[in-house]
Amino acid sequence: MALRAEIYRAELSVADMDRHVFEQHTLTLARHPSETEGRMMVRLLAFALHSDESLGFGRGLSTEGEPDLWKRDDTGAVELWIDVGLPDEKSVRKACGRARNVVVLAYGERRAESWWESSAAALARLENLRVLTLSDQDTAALQSLAARSMKLACTVQDGHVWLASDTASIEITPSIRHTPATL
C-alpha cells in the first residue's frame, strides 16, 4: 500500500514591505511521504516571499515538469514558476522558456553551494531567473515552526524575513545568488 501525503494547514499573514503586499492566506500543504518537514517549510517560505492570490502549489514531488509553486495569468500563461531545492540545469532552462519569471529557492547549504558553482555559468545567462539560497540554520529554524496546524505571521523588509508563530519567532535572510538585471 502506498503511503499517503500528510496534510498541514497554515493560516499565513503576510506583510511584505518590499513589495507593498499585505495579505491573509489559508493554505493546505500536502507533504509527500518522501518530503521532509524542512522542505515543506521552505515551500511555505517561497509562498510567503511571493504571496499573491493567484499563487498556488504544484502537484508535488511525484509530478515531473511542474513547479513547487506557480502563478498563471487569466490566459493560462505562467507568470511565475518557483522551484524549491536543487533542480537540474535543464529543468531550470525549460522553466525559463515556459514562464515569464522563474525563482529557485535552494537549500542544503553545502549541496546548494556545489549546485550553484556547477550551474552558475549556464544559469547566469537566463534573463528571467532569480536564485536564492538558504543556510542550514535558516532551514532548521523554518522546520522548528512546522506543525500540522500553523498560524504564522510573516514580515518581509529589505530582504529579511521574520516568521512568528504563537510560540516562536525566527529571522531568515535568503542569500541572492542571481537576479536578472531587469529586476
Q: What is the pLDDT of residue 148?
A: 96
pTM above 0.75, yes or no: yes
Question: What are the phi and psi torsion angles at 47 (to 5°)?
Answer: -65, -45
Q: What is the pLDDT of residue 62?
A: 57
Task: Establish if 183 belongs to a structural domain.
Answer: no
Query: What total of structural domains would you count in the chain?
Result: 1
- Residues 45-68: pLDDT tens digits? 999 999 999 999 987 665 677 899
Task: Establish if 29 belongs to a structural domain.
Answer: yes
Task: Establish if 147 belongs to a structural domain.
Answer: yes
Task: Establish if 68 belongs to a structural domain.
Answer: yes
Q: What is the pLDDT of residue 141?
A: 97
Q: How confident is the model at residue 182 (pLDDT cuts 50, 70, 90)?
A: low
CATH number of 145's domain: 3.10.640.10
The answer to whether 51 and 23 have CB atoms below 8 angstroms apart is: yes
Residue from 75, 64, 73, 74 nearest 83 by CA:
64
Task: Establish if 1 belongs to a structural domain.
Answer: no
The answer to whether 178 and 120 have CB atoms below 8 angstroms apart is: yes
Name every residue whose Cβ is closer than 8 Å to that of residue 55 and which is 6 or more positions away in sequence.
47, 69, 70, 71, 80
Domain, as residue range, for 129:
6-178
